[in-house]
Amino acid sequence: MSPTLQSFLTLIDQYGYLMLLLLAIVEGPIVCVLSGFLIAQDMALSVPLVFAILIVGDVCGDLFWYFVGYFGSKHSWAYRWMSVNAGSVEKLKERYRKNLGKTIMIAKYTQTGIIAMPAAGAAGMPLGLFVLYNLLSSIPKTALLMMAGYFFGFALHGINIALRIGSIVLGIVTILLLVIYYQRYMRQEHVLDIQD
């Protein structure tokens, strides 16, 4: 097992589902894939509970960035940090008003949330709508990432079995080749002894 996977498993084992929530807030997509992988490895995780925790963690992580944009937009340093001016923010607000849900959903699936979530807050997108669209986007995204991890984990079982069988076959073939080589060597030595 890789050190990353072992560390992840140790944290979940020691601190339970609360640690899973914290990890999902910090790095949602990777934790979704790892959780699916662990479920496929029969690690005694409750699928519905893990799924719900991962969705809550994903939305909470995006809420953090929303509030960074929301509160940061009220200060001039934030405009400099985000490299925008007041005119750009007004254009952004108009764009969010026209394409509210679409912008959030595209950001969730293209991994541009680090830009779009603070921008939603800075644009003054209503919090309730932000959470709704974020939640509607997180459900299928989390399911897809967990399934990807599950299938990787499930495939690992097959790969391990194939490697074991392959190792056994390779060992048998190696032994047979050594026996054949030894017999030929001994025949050649015997022929040379007879000729002398």
* Buried-exposed string 102-139: b where 16+ CB fall within 10 A, e elsewhere: ebbbebbeeeebeebbbbbbbbebeeeebbebbeebbe
Please give the structure tokens belonging to residue 9: 């498993």
Please give the structure tokens belonging to residue 164: 């074991």
Instruction: For residue range 59-113, list pLDDT tens digits in order.
Output: 999 999 899 888 877 766 655 665 666 666 667 667 777 887 888 888 888 877 7
Instruction: For residue range 120-129, list pLDDT tens digits in order.
Output: 888 888 899 9
- CA–CA separation, 178 and 167 (whole Å): 16
Q: What are phi and psi of 178, to 5 degrees?
A: -65, -40
